[in-house]
Amino acid sequence: MSISLLKLWPASVILGLTLLAPPRVDAAPAGQQVFPSQTVFWVSLPEAAGFRDKFSRTQLGMLAQDDSLKPFAEHICRQTLDQFGEVRDTLGVSLDDVLAAAGGELALGIAHREGQRAVSVLVVDPAGKRAGADRLIAKVDAALTSRGARRSSQNLAGLVATVYKMPAKPDAKIQREDLVLFEDGGLICFVESVAEAQAVRARIAGQGDSLADLEDFRKTMARCARESTATPDARWFLAPFKYDLARRSREQKKNLADKKDTFTILREQGFDAIRGVGGHVQVAVDGAKDFVHHTAIYAPAKPGTAGKPASQRYELGMRMAETPNQQANFGVEPWAPRSTANYSTFSIDIQNAFENLESVFDAMSGYEGAFRYTLEGFERDEFGPKIKVRDEIIRHLGDRVTRMADYELPVDTDCERFLFVIEAKDPAKLAEPIDKWMDTDGAILQEVRGVKYWEILPEDETEVTVELGGGLIPLDNQAADPAEESLIRRAAVCVHGGYLIVASDVEFLEQAIFGVTPQESLAGSYDFQAAMRQLDAITNQPRCSWSFTRTDETVRPTYELLREGRLPEGKTFFAQLLNKLLTTPEEQEKAIVRRQRLDGSELPSFELARRYFGPSARAVTAEDDGWFITGVVLNKAGQ
């Protein structure tokens, strides 16, 4: 699970639950008191029966009711939810069966005790939905017994519970726990393992530590509550690095030998200082706003370092995370075109990040000294650029980075365009080492409207290729994985007008160099102004980052590739994200393109789907114990 992934999954969970939620009946929720303090993932709809009514008034709710698009929406949402809640795998029923039984709160989670297999817990308050609850219990019984489960009764401290013992799988390295079903305190509980079921019963009676007692949970929820102006319609919590361990404890998949995954490296590099990520979501807030969300990233500083820079608050690679808030001059760049699909800008102390990069670079490279060898290669190799990266490049960079993303028509597997712009403190001094670097790295010097730039082409389109670091890095220590592609295969690079610019193509580069007219600028577009106005109305805190997204334009490439049956081949951000989620480790190891699991051939033209995706904006504030994110998704009809 990646950091990028941590930004996207809560919205998918909420969407999946809301698409299938039943009509409203008020009930008192059981809340977080039922789940153990070892819970690493948790999502709750406090009033599941009333959730659909609100959601149906949003554009996504309308999408779910569109017969031509509903199968696509439900399939994607269920697939995403199965990745986390594992409801179908654990209970053998669909999420709509579960939601049809919820009159009050519906909550699901994963609990992980060290050295044991992680277990899932599902709690349903059936208030007003007894018939649905009985149907759910019957369906679970039929599904599990059809899988060969042996049903028995067991006494749980005076309460008779039903226990389903699944047949053992000879080839499985991790055996399934028993599933325990019982009702207590007005709740229907499905819990993996008898021991955990007994603990749930104790917590219902007010005994034992619960999720509500966990500091990481309390801190994230309390931070969100300070900003929320109304009772949230959904809440969620994730302990990212503990969840990763929980996921591993349940996996039957093959572990790739001698290869650390990204999460393991990040954990070893101090990023497990991020102890909790949690949020509140409000739905159908008013005619203009479909969703308002607040997310807290809880990363407490080491004792005695509160208020100090990240280089002192954290350890190893996490010390790079110095993202100072900006009070002024942090608006949209005047050269940004109105047609862009996504615009994001953030503040980061680049000097500090570079000084604390070494341990992460070495870990990602797979051997100690990789960072040092690389810098020495740049400086001293006979065929290298002979530049001192720290002194000649890094020291001349500013602290603001801006990214834009767009795509070319017609949509193809490689249609996504990108642009990175980094402020330069001293552009004149930065240009010379960049020129040396590009020249020795096989780039081609080009010119657009009198401005010189360097073009980087894929290796099969160039006659000269130079290894990073000038060849001083020992080749036998480099990671050689044919399934992995370089981060940038094609780019246009230029130092101009106070910026270092890296674009996917010369057309995008040209826009950043020469700018656009006020009429064609992003700042002048109506949807941008509307989204930022609504964002400013719900948060006025200083920001270390903010972004604007035209959700329809962002989704379009993935949608079109899905219709054509080529999504697994896609190189857009969302296509690659889906591939990361759905491609098995064996397929990744062998560089196998996964088979598309969803038939999109009957989907209508995207012009019919576009109306369901409104613009969104998000702001991030750096705090002493982490970061706080506020976001809004607008309803197109209410703009």
Q: Provide the 10 A C-beta neighbour count for residue 483.
A: 11
Tokens 């042996």 sit at which residue? Answer: 150
CB of 512 closer than 8 Å to CB of 499: yes
Closest CA to 411 of 296, 639, 563: 563
The pLDDT value recorded for residue 12 is 39
- For residue 214, give the nearest of 126, 275, 123 by alpha carbon: 275
**How far apart are alpha carbons 40 and 501 in whole angstroms?**
40
* pLDDT given at position 42: 95
All structural domains of the chain with their residue ranges: 3-250, 330-524
What was the pLDDT predicted at 172?
57
AA identity, residue 109: G
Any bridge partners for residue 453, and if so which? Answer: 446
- CA proximity to 187, closest of 207, 205, 165: 205
pLDDT along the chain (639 residues), means of 10: 36 36 38 92 90 84 80 59 58 81 92 90 92 94 92 90 86 73 93 93 91 96 89 93 90 60 91 96 91 96 91 94 87 89 94 96 92 94 92 95 77 67 94 94 92 82 35 34 46 93 90 89 93 93 94 77 59 48 45 50 76 92 96 84
Identify residue 153 by its one-letter amino acid code.
S
User: Do residues 479 and 389 make contact, with C-beta atoms less than 8 angstroms apart?
Assistant: no
| Positive or negative torsion for Cα 515, 518, 523, 528 | negative
Q: What is the DSSP letter of 210?
A: B
Diameter of the chain measured on Cα atoms: 84
Q: What is the spatial distance between Cα 526 and Cα 325, in angstroms, rounded to a whole number?
A: 27
Q: Please state whether 113 falls in left (phi above 0), alpha (psi between -120 and 50) or beta.
A: beta
- What's the CA gap between 345 and 331, in Å, rounded? 9
CB 177 within 8 A of CB 119: yes
Q: What is the pLDDT of residue 603?
A: 73
Q: For residues 309 and 352, give the distance between their C-alpha atoms in angstroms, rounded to a whole number.
A: 10
What are the C-alpha distances in Å from 364 to residues 164, 266, 368, 475, 521? 44, 9, 10, 15, 39
Tokens matching residue 185:
């305190």
List helix spans (H) across 59-129: 59-65, 70-84, 87-91, 95-99
Give me the amino acid identity at 322: E
Cross-strand bridge partners of residue 400:
347
465, burial (CB in 10 Å: exposed 0-12, middle 13-18, buried 19+): exposed
Q: If you ran DSSP here, which 8-state letter would residue 255 be given? A: P
Separation CA 572–CA 601 (nearest Å): 19
* CA angle, 299 then 281 then 101, to 5°: 115
Euclidean distance between CA atoms 246 and 229, whole angstroms: 34
Q: Please answer whether residues 467 and 382 qualify as being in contact, where contact means their C-beta atoms are separated by less than 8 angstroms.
A: no
Strand ranges (DSSP E) for 350-485?
A: 397-407, 416-424, 444-448, 451-456
**Whose CA is closest to 129, among 46, 26, 54?**
26
pLDDT of residue 89: 73
pLDDT score for 30 = 55
> Which residue type does 196 have?
E
